[in-house]
């Protein structure tokens, strides 16, 4: 082997010629973090912001955040703006899955390689150019390289398939056969020895981000696909009943509607919600095939169910086969690190929802790939909506599908905090920095605002009732207040509550959610206030908006009434703040401590 090389494990085999290398120590969510049309990084909080990944070898610890990263990878490949290859420090089935689907359905591919140790990964940062060979070897100095003339044979399969699985896998052109081959390949990547039956699935791939995702779904329909287990649908990209009325352009509305329809044709229930646990929470110990990052975190952590954080497209493959890799949160439940929150100040009931959202955001940054055990919050009341917001924020900054909170989640009591060697402290200073990173207001910051964005994840019946108690009369005409929620939730809501909120000026949008919305719901340079830490993080990378302010629901109600960002800093946040790189540094520090789930 050449001395200027790094040995890697191929997750997706392939060859990348000599290319510029782009390296980061911070995980990246390709969805909301990379423009699928150009290949340019658009996550304002990521060190690679503004850099084009097209034609480059991209080195990352792994992914974080959204399951839709696999869709972005596919769109990049189909649009000829993909990286030349991807090198990962950790196994990452979400990034790999996008390439696997491109290979299986569209004859497009790039190599995806995992390096085995931190030293080799650090060497990638010192190189300016690299190439990747089919064996997984990464050459860091092409001038001193030894050419490979023999392509290594694929490694022997380590996944034991049942006799029925093998029969399905041999169906070369059927939807189920293709799905089973993809499930088996992902099982190899995550180190699963066998597959497990799932009782139900949840499809996140209903989000339309480009033509490749629609081609994939239509190919499954054309191949006779039919979901084997009960399956729900995540929020799609439009309000299916009135996208034309809202003013969504047909070039977005029509393919988005067609994508949603394709998954219904495959047998999914038209639930179109990113909070499927509100209507039908899974049982403790129930094996699921769920996608959507917040739904996965809530199901595993709050409900005690068992599902891996499945990539978009893999969710459909699991629904078609009823089988999932037996790995990740299906089997690994023990925490790997402790996050001590005893230093947090007391928070009044008005701001408690903001505390839970911020805490989830920072805990995820402290545990980018590890299952954390959170202590010190047992005496802080938490509603189902508070835990929903924690789950969504945690899943934005972490790649882990699971967390435990003593006093609030069902499995936390089984673990001894003193047995965990990795310990982090979360205090008001960390929350303050996260608050300002997410656009939380300062005492002197009373900008006029244009839009109050509520319902990410989808609003619950309790949130509608609380909003009804917080607002009164009529809002200023210049301010728009929009709540996204499941159609079923709106239909089940108290008619009097809905009537009063409509009178106040609230617009209800169903079937879709904030992370899928764009113009005309969000206008260019709109100044936004939201109670979602998740949306405050992603918004600037998804839409051409102005400043985004994070606040609790009460602060959002104040903004709706006044037309200005709230001027009251929550008293539990410290006054002095100098946030610039604190959250990215948390990611880097945690990654270097090797807090790894798998």
Closest CA to 27 of 578, 586, 457, 598: 586
Question: For strand 138-139 and strand 129-132, is the pairing parallel, antiparallel, or unpaired?
Answer: antiparallel
Question: What does the H/E/C string look like for 302-325?
Answer: CCCCECCCCCCCHHHHHHHHCEEE
CA 318 to chain CA centroid, Å, is 18
DSSP 140: S
Distances (CA, A) of 107 to 48, 260, 376: 29, 25, 51
Q: Left, alpha or beta for 107 (phi > 0: left; psi -120 to 50: alpha)?
A: left
Asked if pLDDT for residue 30 goes beyond 60, the answer is yes
Residue 197's DSSP bridge partners are: 323
> Which residue do the tokens 């969805």 mark?
31
Asked if pLDDT for residue 75 goes beyond 50, the answer is yes
Rounded Cα distance between 453 and 534, Å, is: 12
The answer to whether 29 is a known catalytic residue is: no
Closest CA to 26 of 44, 40, 46, 43: 46
Hey, what domains does the chain have and what are their CATH numbers? Answer: 5-144 (3.50.30.10), 163-330 (3.30.499.10), 337-438 (no CATH), 451-562 (3.30.499.10)
pLDDT in tens, 508-558: 999 999 999 999 999 999 999 999 999 999 998 888 888 899 999 999 999
Lowest mean pLDDT among 292-301, 324-333, 341-350, 505-514: 341-350
The residue length of the chain stands at 598
Asked if pLDDT for residue 160 goes beyond 60, the answer is yes
pLDDT in tens, 107-132: 999 999 999 899 999 999 999 999 99
Rounded Cα distance between 91 and 596, Å, is: 10
pLDDT in tens, 181-190: 999 999 999 9
- Please name the residue ranges forming H helices in 79-206: 93-106, 118-126, 163-169, 175-190
pLDDT in tens, 478-501: 999 999 999 999 999 999 999 999
- CB neighbourhood size of 156 (10 A): 5
Asked if pLDDT for residue 592 goes beyond 80, the answer is no
Check residue 577 and give its pLDDT.
38
Annotated active-site residue in 29, 66, 135, 293: 66
Sorting pLDDT into bands at 50, 70 and 90, what band is 172?
confident
SS3 content of the chain, % helix, strand, coil (to 5): 35, 15, 45
Mean pLDDT score, 186-210: 97
Query: What value, to the nearest 5°, has the Cα angle with vertex 584 and ends 582 and 588?
Result: 110
Three-state DSSP class for residue 175: helix
> Which residue do the tokens 């000829």 mark?
80
| Interacting residues of 34 by C-beta distance below 8 A, sequence separation 6+ | 28, 40, 41, 42, 43, 53, 72, 76
């Amino acid at each position: 082997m050449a001395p200027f090389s790094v040995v890697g494990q191929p997750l997706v085999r392939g060859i990348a010629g000599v290319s510029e290398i782009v390296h980061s120590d911070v995980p990246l969510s390709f969805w909301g973090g990379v423009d699928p049309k150009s290949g340019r990084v658009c996550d304002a909080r990521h060190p690679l912001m503004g850099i084009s990944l097209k034609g480059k070898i991209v080195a990352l610890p792994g992914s974080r955040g959204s399951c839709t990263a696999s869709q972005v990878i596919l769109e990049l490949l189909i649009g000829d703006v993909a990286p030349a290859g991807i090198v990962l420090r950790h196994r990452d089935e979400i990034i790999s899955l996008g390439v696997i689907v491109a290979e299986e359905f569209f004859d497009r591919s790039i190599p995806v390689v995992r390096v085995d140790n931190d030293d080799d990964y650090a060497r990638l940062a010192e190189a300016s150019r690299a190439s990747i060979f089919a064996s997984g070897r990464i050459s860091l100095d092409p001038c001193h390289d030894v050419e490979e003339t023999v392509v290594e044979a694929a490694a022997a399969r380590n996944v034991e398939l049942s006799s029925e699985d093998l029969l399905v896998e041999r169906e070369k052109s059927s939807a189920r056969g293709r799905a089973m081959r993809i499930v088996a390949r992902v099982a190899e990547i995550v180190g699963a020895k066998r597959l497990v039956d799932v009782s139900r699935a949840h499809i996140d791939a209903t989000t339309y981000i480009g033509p490749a995702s629609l081609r994939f779904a239509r190919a499954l329909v054309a191949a006779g696909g039919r979901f084997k287990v009960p399956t729900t649908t995540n929020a799609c990209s439009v309000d299916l009943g009135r996208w034309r009325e809202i003013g969504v352009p047909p070039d977005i509305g029509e393919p988005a509607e067609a994508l949603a329809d394709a998954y219904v044709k495959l047998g999914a229930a038209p639930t179109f919600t990113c909070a499927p646990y509100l209507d039908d929470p899974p049982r403790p110990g129930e094996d699921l095939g769920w996608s959507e990052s917040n739904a996965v975190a809530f199901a595993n952590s709050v409900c005690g169910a068992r599902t891996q954080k499945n990539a978009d497209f893999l969710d459909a493959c699991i629904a078609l086969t009823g089988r999932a890799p037996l790995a990740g949160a299906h089997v690994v439940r023990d925490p790997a690190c402790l996050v001590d929150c005893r230093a947090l100040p007391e928070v009044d009931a008005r701001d408690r929802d903001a505390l839970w959202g911020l805490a989830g955001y920072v805990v995820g940054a402290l545990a980018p790939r590890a299952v954390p055990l959170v202590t010190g919050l047992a005496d802080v009341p938490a509603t189902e909506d508070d835990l929903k917001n924690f789950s969504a924020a945690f899943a934005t900054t972490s790649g882990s599908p699971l967390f435990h909170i003593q006093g609030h989640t069902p499995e936390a009591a089984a673990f001894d905090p003193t047995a965990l060697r990795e310990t982090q402290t979360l205090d008001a200073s960390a929350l303050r920095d996260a608050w300002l990173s997410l656009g939380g207001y300062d005492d002197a910051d009373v900008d006029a605002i244009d839009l109050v964005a509520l319902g990410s994840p989808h609003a619950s019946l309790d949130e509608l009732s609380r909003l009804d108690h917080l607002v009164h009369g009529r809002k200023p005409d210049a301010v728009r207040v929009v709540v996204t929620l499941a159609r079923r939730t709106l239909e089940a809501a108290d008619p009097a509550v809905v009537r009063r909120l409509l009178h106040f000026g609230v617009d209800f949008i169903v079937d879709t959610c904030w992370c899928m919305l764009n113009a005309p719901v969000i206008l260019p340079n709109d100044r936004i206030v939201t109670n979602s830490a998740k949306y405050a993080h992603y918004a600037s990378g998804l839409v051409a908006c102005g400043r985004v302010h994070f606040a609790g629901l009460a602060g959002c109600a104040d903004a709706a009434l006044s037309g200005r960002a709230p001027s009251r800093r929550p008293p539990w946040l410290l006054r002095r703040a100098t946030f610039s790189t604190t959250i990215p540094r948390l990611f880097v520090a945690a990654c270097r401590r090797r807090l790894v789930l798998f």
